[in-house]
Amino acid sequence: MGLEWDSLVIDAADPVALGRWWCEALGWVVVNETAEESEVRPAPDRMPGLFFGVVPEGKTVKNRLHLDFRPDDQHAEVERLQALGARRADVGQRGDEPWVVLADPEGNEFCVLGERTAGQGLSGA
């Protein structure tokens, strides 16, 4: 039996705008876009991607699943993402974590990890 990860589905009030935001943030491309959904990928034929589908309700609680990104320069990347419209998010951090929690324009949290150190797990935690 084969199983291939195709995409992560994210609820959105405006899937087109949110999909375009993530394209800008990640340097990805839109592979499908209608008023009700948007799909973005690293390249048209590469997976996994992010799929944004319209939902009527807004986000009200912390994500149960989130994305972690490990940039070359955490500080520069946090500044770049904030300039695009991300904002810092408080999900109960202590303040000494080596990652920064941000939220996209619709409030979906994601982490910008710091440099990996010896003995540290893949997630940075």
- Give residues with Cβ within 8 angstroms of 101, minimum separation 6: 88, 89, 90, 91, 93, 109, 110, 111
Give the model confidence (pLDDT) of 28-73 as tens digits.
999 999 999 999 999 999 999 999 999 999 888 888 899 999 999 9
Backbone φ and ψ for 92, nearest 5 degrees, come out as 95, 20
Question: What does R_g of the chain's alpha carbons equal in angstroms?
Answer: 15
What is the model's pLDDT at position 37?
97
**0.85 surpassed by pTM:** yes
Helix 15-26 × helix 74-84 angle, to 10°:
150
Q: What is the DSSP letter of 104?
A: -
Whether 119 shows a pLDDT value over 70: the answer reads: no
* Whether pLDDT at 124 is above 80: no
Is 125 a residue whose pLDDT tops 50?
A: no
